[in-house]
Structure 1
Amino acid sequence: MAADPKLSAAGTVRAGMRAVDVRPRPGLLQRWQNSRNALGWSFMLPAAVLLLLFLTYPLGLGVWLGFTDAKVGRAGQWVGLENFEFLVGDSVTLLALFNTLFYTAVASVLKFVLGLWLALMLNKRLPFQSFFRAVVLLPWIVPTALSAIAFWWIFDAQFSIISWALTRLGLIDHYIDFLGNPWNARLSTIAANTWRGIPFVAISLLAGLQTISPSYYEASAIDGATPWQQFRHITLPLLSPIIAVVMTFSVLFTFTDFQLIYVLTRGGPLNATHLMATLAFQRAIPGGALAEGAAIATMMVPFLLAAIMFSYFGLQRRAWQQGGDK
């Protein structure tokens, strides 16, 4: 004779020797809410869709166009490496590559040196410290187009405030043609980019300096270390991971600079300030050669990857600071 089923406290029905679970199974929404992986992917999905639509697709399309003969208004056909073979022998493209490397190298070094010096100054106990830290950010937050127009006036051949001041001081007898001479134009654009980029480097390095414990400096001072020795053996090693990250972004921003150059000089005079980004735009949009402009932009990718990999391996060598074995 079968035993009467009895409902246990665990939500099962015991019938004879077999237990049957009669609890309702959780629905799809409940399982999704209880799954950390599913919830994480759901939160990442909107950002992934935006990156796919506005970053991955344009990048892939640009690379594809670089291997075609597309023009404005015409789709174009696959031509392989013809665009790149032409650009390797194109004097303007080679000049733009030189300008880009020179512009990036000099501006990045200046921004690092001046930004580090400014960060060290702001890290000290100064009167109105908060005020100065806020003022330092002004060049960074001003729109690039507005600052470029301001520098356009500062470097103007007839109304330059710099030339006016130097002539009044008797240091020069004629106004300097900042943007009309090729090398003057290169150095002027570097000065403008450095002015804009110093705040980013300074504030980022200042944040890193704030994480260094004062006990290191106190112990080294007891041992008789000079300020230079403290900087060399304490500040610089502990700040190097921050420096690697900050300078990577600084190099990437400088290498791909477009707005400042386009507003200030539009690549002139005589293509002396054309960067890879501005030349790619000029060839593709005003010039109508979409494939050629896309090929120039594609040629920038290896240099950007090299900068990223240099920073990555540099951080790997300092893994011991984060508790690693190296």
Structure 2
Amino acid sequence: MSSIPATADIPRRAIQEYSFWQRLRLNNDWVSFWFMVPAGAFLLLFLAYPLGLGVWMSFTDARIGRDGVFIGTENYQWLWDDAVFWLSVFNTLVYTVVASAIKFAIGLYLALLLNRSMPFKALIRAAILVPFIVPTVLSAIAFWWIYDAQFSIISWSLMKLGLIDRYINFLGDTTLARASVIFANIWRGVPFVAITLLAGLQTVSPSLYEAATLDGATNWQRFRFITYPLLTPIIAVVMTFSVLFTFTDFQLIWALTRGGPVNSTHLMATLSYQRGILSGRLGEGAAIATAMIPFLLAAITISWFGMQRRKWQQGSDK
């Protein structure tokens, strides 16, 4: 008889223990929520609100010093017929595609090279980071010294070698100016791509390469069937950020060319600043900045789909 109450108490104790752990889990959920509140408030205050305000301003005739009146899509209609705006779109796309592709190719090569055993590897890795950590304006000044029509170190060297008889105006010719700013962006962006891909390569097990080598795989086959598939998620993230940083580049272009010559290096970001801030037409400048959003969303979407196709790496059958 004495064992019956003890047996009857088992469900009661189980319920009490379950209730305790359930309350604890709910409390942890609330603690996690309150920890996320500051981050959410920061995003709303400093990202979502300015973005929403900029989109709204693009539908007004706001100018510096006075509030704007809602004018619908008039700013966008004006941009549709603006040849300079379409030139800036073309420049931005060429600048982004060419620079991002070359940065990826050089960065991947450097990452593969630095992933091997070599003397002074740590020192070389640190040296590669130098272009990325140098302030943008300081880099622009250095490249201005390299490109300038009167003080160009490139032209001076070629003249001393007898290859040319006068200085090359790198920033005064439309084609050379585009190539010059793209090269400057590549110089600054390669370290980010290289170091990030190198970090991804460090996660690949050497045993995979050893097994492939024993099976007679060539260097290209090891890269094609081991390195590239395992590195795809890292590549997607790196290229997304590289495209976003390149597409929205402002400091380097503005410090080097101000969008010249003849608007040949104007990007959408620099044109938005010129129209919105320098000219005082905030509504038009906001419309140009808002027009950048679809391009950025397209880049993010492509990256997202690229990562979804590699779900098999996480145990899926796709």
TM-score normalised by length of structure 2: 0.91
Question: Which residue matches 1:49?
Answer: 41
- Give the 3 Å change call, closer, same or farther, for CA 233–172 of structure 1 in structure 2: farther
* Cα distance in 1, alignment partners of residues 28 and 168 from structure 2: 64
Between the two proteins, the alignment pairs up a number of residues equal to 297
Within-5 A mapping of 1:12-31: none
What is the aligned-residue identity percentage?
66
Q: Cα offset for 1:43? A: 1.2
Query: Which amino acid is the alignment partner of residue 42 of structure 1?
Result: W
Question: Which residue matches 2:297?
Answer: 305
Question: Which residue matches 1:9?
Answer: none
Q: Cα offset for 1:158? A: 1.0
* Cα distance in 2, alignment partners of residues 98 and 137 from structure 1: 30
Superposed CA RMSD: 1.5
**Does residue 234 in structure 1 map to residue 226 in structure 2?**
yes
Question: Which residue matches 1:112?
Answer: 104
**Does residue 128 in structure 1 map to residue 120 in structure 2?**
yes
* Cα distance in 2, alignment partners of residues 142 and 42 from structure 1: 38
* Cα distance in 2, alignment partners of residues 161 and 32 from structure 1: 68
Q: Comparing both structures, which one devotes a greater share of its residues to helix?
A: 2
* Cα distance in 2, alignment partners of residues 69 and 171 from structure 1: 54
Question: Which residue matches 1:209?
Answer: 201
Where 2:117 maps in the other structure, the secondary structure is coil
- 2:210 pairs, out of 214, 218, 225, with 218
**Does residue 98 in structure 1 map to residue 90 in structure 2?**
yes
Q: Cα offset for 1:173? A: 2.5
Unaligned runs of 5+ in 2: 1-19
- Give the 3 Å change call, closer, same or farther, for CA 37–74 of structure 1 in structure 2: same
- Give the 3 Å change call, closer, same or farther, for CA 235–182 of structure 1 in structure 2: same
Question: Which residue matches 2:147?
Answer: 155
Question: Which residue matches 2:16?
Answer: none
* Cα distance in 2, alignment partners of residues 198 and 32 from structure 1: 48
Where 1:35 maps in the other structure, the secondary structure is helix
Question: Which residue matches 2:135?
Answer: 143
Query: Which amino acid is the alignment partner of residue 58 of structure 1?
Result: P
Q: Write out the 4+ residue segments of structure 1 that deviate beyond 3 Å after TM superposition.
A: 31-34
Question: Which residue matches 2:72?
Answer: 80
- Give the 3 Å change call, closer, same or farther, for CA 32–263 of structure 1 in structure 2: farther
**Does residue 257 in structure 1 map to residue 249 in structure 2?**
yes
Determine if contact 1:33/1:39 at 8 Å carries over to the other structure. no
Larger Rg: 1
Unaligned runs of 5+ in 1: 1-25
Question: Which residue matches 1:15?
Answer: none
Query: Which amino acid is the alignment partner of residue 65 of structure 1?
Result: M
Question: Which residue matches 2:14?
Answer: none
Determine if contact 1:32/1:38 at 8 Å carries over to the other structure. no
